[in-house]
Structure 1
Amino acid sequence: MSGDFPLVFSVTSGKGGVGKTNLSVNLALCLARKNKKVVLIDADLGLANVDVLLGLTPAKNLFHLFHDGASLGEILFPTPYGFSILPASSGVSDMLTLSSGQKLELLEAVDELEDHVDYLIVDTGAGINDNVLYFNLAVQERLVVLTPEPTSLTDAYALIKVLKLTHGVEHFKVCVNMVPDVKMAKEIFARLHQACDTFLSGVSLDFAGFVPRDPAMRKSVLAQKPLCETQPDSPAARAIDQLATTISQWEVARQLDGNIKFFWKKLLFC
């Protein structure tokens, strides 16, 4: 990572159930182990589960920022794994669509972190609803997660298509999750690449990595602890650690693209 500017990236998907939040949690842990300051935002605002996966019960979450005037410092929750989370609420319909004012309020609040974070990871919801699109526009890089399921491929393409055609986003990183081996991962990536090449002129996809299907992952979910903590030598944990190493080599994009971004003030003057 270049300079002292935080790298902000989303972990996102067109379809639920692709392991996106598990990946976010374990990437946060792996990056924190590289002596980096990491904050993970649970941006699936109405169906939050980062805290559940970690077995944690924060007293406050982003609902309290918008509705009770809580400060970011009151919500930011340190985990036992070397990174902090900004938890969201679950089952609160008010959070399913943020108003323009709330979106700006969140950006302003997160500005407090700019000198205290190396990586800001944004775990979005799935699909193409307003919140998902908003968070994917507010980051510098997007890591699209998909699995071998055909519906996962078509929904990943749909997300990329909306971001490209409606908002002009052209660059995406791709991680293929829950695959038997790297060969299938690259085949699935090639299918997505072909669809984008054929129907979406100007879109650039980079294969960031893959995570093999691993029974150890389910055990870690049931234990409510990150896989990279409980079984660091398992195939999936090793693959996620490799993905974290790849991410640590991404360059921070310093140009604005017309969308208001996290730490946009600092971007404007750097």
Structure 2
Amino acid sequence: MDQAESLRRLASQMARPKRKARAIAVTSGKGGVGKTSLTVNLAVSMSRLGLRTGILDGDLGLANVDLVLGITPQYNLSHVLHGEKRLEEIAVPGPEGICVFAGGSGVSELANLSHWRLQRFVQSLSTLDQDLDVMLIDTGAGISRIVMSFLWACDEVIVVTTPELPAITDAYGVIKLLVTENPSAVVRVVVNMARGEAEAERVLYSLQAVLNQFLNRRVSLELLGHIPHDAAVSRSIQEQSPLVIAYPASRAAASIEFIARRLVAGAPVQQSAGIGGIFQRMATLLRKRPERN
């Protein structure tokens, strides 16, 4: 390749706008299905694959990401909202180069921000699009106003369930609300504690069939993968160390790494709204749906 061709390629790359960070919400219909553990281990696995990865702990009730990683963030998004801290000051470094951000009460305060303060906050968050390739948002479980606002705002959603009927039923409730509001949502399912791929496919089929029946239209779901029941998972949680680091040879770790590779390979073609854009959407959604007393 001659120098002129090299310069043309370099100019082309510089002219091409950088893709904004992917914002992927990881959610579940009920607690105890392994949502937070999956989020943390996916983040570590995606970082190992070369992506600059962050986690936002969006569970306002329980800071489970902190517990799984054994870290204690001093500050959260609320401190950024009120101008007490800069965004980089609330970031807590995690294993394998990941960054952890605590949501705290900052998420629920979005609806009450003045226009200029919201724009300042969104602009601050937008800097993460330069620093990260992907942000995994660990939402709370269930269908609360905050959880659903995260799901409606994000471009991609992973729903975690188990083969147990109560978990499937609750996952159905989340997906139904999600696709009713956002029919174009990209919804992927991970079946945790599955006995094999066949069982995971049966879970997906059950969800698909019920959704198609009650919504009277076809809802597209993707089985992102399944994770086998593995004693190493509970051991890693007790040790406050990600499974893929503490027990890399375990079957569950191998499954999570497979899921991470699929996520990286399956990046959406369309431009992401970016992290700032996600919170802009959330503020709009929360204002449209005021909290009920």
Q: 1:170 to 1:119 in 2, by over 3 A?
A: closer
Kindly indicate whether residue 127 of structure 2 is the aligned counterpart of residue 116 of structure 1: no
- CA distance in structure 2 between the aligned counterparts of 1:23 and 1:219, rounded to whole angstroms: 14
Q: 1:44 to 1:107 in 2, by over 3 A?
A: farther
SS at match of 2:46: helix
For 2:192, which of 177, 183, 186 is the aligned residue? 177
- CA distance in structure 1 between the aligned counterparts of 2:71 and 2:264, rounded to whole angstroms: 27
Kindly indicate whether residue 31 of structure 2 is the aligned counterpart of residue 37 of structure 1: no
Q: Which residue does 2:102 correspond to in 1?
A: 87
Q: 1:140 to 1:33 in 2, by over 3 A?
A: same
Q: 1:77 to 1:26 in 2, by over 3 A?
A: same
SS at match of 2:258: helix
Kindly indicate whether residue 161 of structure 2 is the aligned counterpart of residue 132 of structure 1: no
SS at match of 1:15: coil
Kindly indicate whether residue 111 of structure 2 is the aligned counterpart of residue 100 of structure 1: yes
Contact 1:138 1:262 in 2 (8 A): no
Alpha-carbon shift at residue 253 of structure 1 (Å):
4.9
Contact 1:213 1:236 in 2 (8 A): yes
In structure 1, stretches of 5+ residues that fail to align are 266-270
Alpha-carbon shift at residue 263 of structure 1 (Å):
4.0
> Over alpha carbons, which structure has the higher Rg?
2
For 1:221, which of 226, 237, 241 is the aligned residue? 237
- CA distance in structure 2 between the aligned counterparts of 1:166 and 1:35, rounded to whole angstroms: 34
Alpha-carbon shift at residue 210 of structure 1 (Å):
0.6
Q: Which residue does 2:89 correspond to in 1?
A: 74
Alpha-carbon shift at residue 72 of structure 1 (Å):
0.9
Q: Which residue does 1:268 correspond to in 2?
A: none
Q: 1:35 to 1:167 in 2, by over 3 A?
A: closer
* TM-score (norm: length of structure 1): 0.87
* Number of residues of Structure 1 aligned to a counterpart in Structure 2: 257
Shifted more, 24-33 versus 172-181: the winner is: 172-181
In structure 2, stretches of 5+ residues that fail to align are 1-17, 279-293
Structure with the largest fraction of helix: 2
Alpha-carbon shift at residue 52 of structure 1 (Å):
1.2
User: What do you get for the CA RMSD once the two structures are aligned?
Assistant: 2.4
Shifted more, 231-240 versus 163-172: the winner is: 163-172
* TM-score (norm: length of structure 2): 0.80
Q: Which residue does 2:252 correspond to in 1?
A: 236
Opposite residue 65 of structure 1, the aligned amino acid is: V
